[in-house]
Amino acid sequence: MERKIAHALTQLGFTATDAKLYVALLKQHPATGYELASRAGVPRSAIYNVLSRLRDQGLVNAVQDKPARYAPLPPARLFELLQARFTSNLDELQAAIGRLAVTAPEVTLWSIKGYRTMLDQAKALIAGSQQSVVASLWRREAKLLSPALRVVGNSGRRVVLFSFNPLPELPGVCFSYDIPEVELERYWRHKIILIADHARLLVGNADESEETRAIVTDESALVEMALSNLVLDITLFGQRMGVATGDVVAGLSSHLAPVEELVARTLRETEG
């Protein structure tokens, strides 16, 4: 748990030493610099420089003199501080970019490397959806994305999920063959297809590795191909399991060419 907290803090721009010191202070405070150096594994020669830096950033405060003892900023206030800080930075960035004469990039396909990066992109697509999220994924990835999916589903946006594994309880419509992951992993690697608003697509491998590769794109042809694949999977699921999937398939297919209608029309004209 301590490693997770420290890692999250480093992802937010703090040094590894800052993160270790803050975590050590959270566990036991107030504490002297000498005590913190021992607990956090920070050299004594550097401890007071680190404490001074954290105090300047508002993360620690001296609460006693002779000897000086330090206390951490409470976690609730830390979250507020970081949220305000990053919101301000993002607003400044948005305003600065807006003042540039920037033409929209023509690239509609972005390559992603790394499992964590892939998950971050998936969460961003889910959070940024306005109408719907449709996905084919494994149970492991569904669990990791479940907080974001719950927010979308509970907000009234449409969620349709397909999986060969048992899925966690989530809002929306879920189709699952309930095959244990360990059984399926003997034959297939983890993969993910995620479509937001029938307009943006994330597709690729979902191995727990820094070598995992996926793409994010808004190229309509690729989005339609992925959506067609999901429609086929859900249609076959309904046929195999005796489950009514017609309404869901019809809703997803409304964004595709009406193939059945066109085929029927062609047959009528041929017979006529």
- Which pLDDT score is estimated for 147? 93
pLDDT interval class at 27 (50, 70, 90): confident
pLDDT of residue 165: 94
HSE-CB for 129 with a 13 A CA cutoff = 31
Check: CB of residue 71 under 8 Å from CB of residue 64.
no
Average pLDDT over residues 7-26: 77
More confident residue, 258 or 64: 64
Whether pLDDT at 264 is above 60: no
Token pair listed for 46: 């550097």
Q: Could you tell me what percent of the chain has a pLDDT over 90?
A: 44
Q: Which of 255, 140, 146 is nearest to 199 (CA)?
A: 255
Average pLDDT over residues 145-155: 93
Domains plus CATH for the chain?
2-73 (1.10.10.10), 109-256 (3.30.870.10)
Question: Percent helix, strand and coil across the chain, each rounded to 5?
Answer: 55, 15, 30
Per the model's pLDDT, the better-predicted residue between 271 and 205 turns out to be 205
Helix H or strand E encompassing 162: strand 158-163
State the Cα torsion 26-32-38-40 to the nearest 10°: 30
217-241: pLDDT as tens digits: 989 889 999 999 999 999 999 999 9
Q: How many CB atoms lie within 10 A of CB 75?
A: 11
